[in-house]
Amino acid sequence: MSGKFELHLRVRVKPESRPAFEALLREAIPVYERPGGIRVRVVQGLDDPNQLTEIVEYADRRVYQADQLRVESDPELKGLLARWRQLLVGQPRVEFWSDASAPCTPWPPTLPELRTDRLLLRAFEERDAYPAAMLCGDFEIAATTLLIPHPYSRDHAIGWIRMHHRAMIEGRGPTYVITCDGDLVGAIGLMVDRTHERAELGYWIGKAHWNRGFASEAARAMVDHGFDVLKLERIFAGHYAANPASGVVLKRAGMSHEGTQRRHVLRFGVWHDLEMFGVLRSDWLLTRAEVSG
C-alpha cells in the first residue's frame, strides 16, 4: 500500500464497562496521536451502541511501521492496550483500508487450514504461546534455528505470534502451528518476497516429537501451498551442516541441494556452514504430474 491508509478495529464493549471505556479512550487517544501523522476517531454502531469501530488513520506506510514498533516497545502504550482489551467482549476484528477504499486482510489473518495424513496446520492464536514456549525453551531447538532466542519465555512467544498477524497483513507470508491430535508439535512458515515471487521455508519441531516424520509431512504441505495457492516461482531453505536431518526433510519436500555457504552463520559462539536447498515451480509441477499419472 502507498499513500494514506486506515486501521479499522471493530469491537464490542461490555455494557457495564462503557463509561470506563469512554474514559480510557479520552486518556489513550492523545497518547496514541502524539508522534504526529496519526488520527484516531470512533464510530458507534447504528443498531447497537456497544458495537464500535475505532478508525486509526496513518499518513503513510512509514508512519504505520514506526507506530507498530512504538506499540511493541512503549510501556505506556502497552499498559493502555492491556486495559483496553479487558473492557471488550471477545477479540477485536481488525481490517486495513487503503486510500483507494479497498479492504485488506482481516485480523486475525485468515489462513486456510492445511491437513495431511496426521497433521493439522492452522493459524497461531495467543493460547498457543505457552505450549510453544515450552517447546522452544529447549536449547537444542534454539541451536538448530537461526532466530529463536535462548532462554525463551511465554512473552517471547506472544510477541512472535503477534508478528505473524502483521506479516500476513503486509504480504510477507504465512506461519502455521503444526498440531497432531490437537497437540502443538512445532511451527512452519514461508517468508515471501513478492518482488521475485519466491519464499524461504522455515520450521521447527519440539524435541519430544523428533523422528516421527512430522517435519517432512508439514514441509510437503507448505511447499504445495506455496506453489498451488501463493503461486510462487521458487521455494528455498537452508540448514546447518551439523544438522543433516534437516537436509533429509528438505529432500522429502521435493527440494534439491544447491550448494554450501561456508561459515555463513555465527550462532551461540559457533560458526556454521549453511547447506542450501531449493525447488522451482516447474520441478514441482513435473513431480505432481508424475505422481498423478
- Looking at the domain 5-98, which fold is it? Alpha-Beta Plaits (3.30.70)
pLDDT, tens digit (0-9, with 9 covering 90-100), for 202-221: 999 999 999 999 999 999 99
Residue 17 CA to chain centroid, in angstroms? Answer: 32
Domain segments of the chain as ranges: 5-98, 114-292
The CATH code of the domain at 114-292 is 3.40.630.30
The fraction of the chain above a pLDDT of 90, given in percent, is 53
- Across the strands, what pairs with 8? 55, 95
In this predicted structure, what is the pLDDT of residue 171?
67
Task: List, in sequence order, every beta strand (DSSP E) within 72-168.
Answer: 93-98, 114-115, 119-123
Q: Is the model's pLDDT at 174 over the cut of 80?
A: yes
Q: How far is CA 49 from CA 7, 26, 43, 57, 81, in A?
A: 21, 18, 10, 22, 21
Of 8 and 212, more confident: 212
Q: Is the model's pLDDT at 107 over the cut of 50?
A: no
Q: Cα(184)–Cα(44) distance, rounded to whole angstroms?
A: 39
In this predicted structure, what is the pLDDT of residue 85?
87
Give the residue among 58, 39, 38, 44 at the shortest CA–CA distance from 11. 44
Question: Do residues 87 and 20 lie in contact, with contact meaning Cβ atoms separated by under 8 Å?
Answer: yes
pLDDT classification of 13: cutoffs 50, 70, 90? very high
* Secondary structure class of 280 (helix, strand, coil): strand
Average pLDDT of the chain to the nearest whole number:
87
Q: Cα(240)–Cα(5) distance, rounded to whole angstroms?
A: 41
Question: Do residues 132 and 187 lie in contact, with contact meaning Cβ atoms separated by under 8 Å?
Answer: yes
Q: Is the model's pLDDT at 281 over the cut of 90?
A: yes
In this predicted structure, what is the pLDDT of residue 3?
57
Q: Which helix (H) or strand (E) holds 132?
A: helix 129-136
**Lowest mean per-residue pLDDT among 169-173, 227-231, 260-264:** 169-173
Q: What are phi and psi of 226, to 5 degrees?
A: -60, -40
Which three cell numbers, joined as nine digits, stand for 200?
A: 524461504
In this predicted structure, what is the pLDDT of residue 1?
39
Cell 498423478 belongs to residue: 292
In this predicted structure, what is the pLDDT of residue 59?
86
Of 198 and 109, more confident: 198
Global pTM?
Answer: 0.65
277: left (phi over 0), alpha (psi -120 to 50) or beta: beta
Q: Is the model's pLDDT at 136 over the cut of 50?
A: yes
Q: Is the model's pLDDT at 169 over the cut of 80?
A: no
Neighbour tally for 93: CB within 10 Å: 14
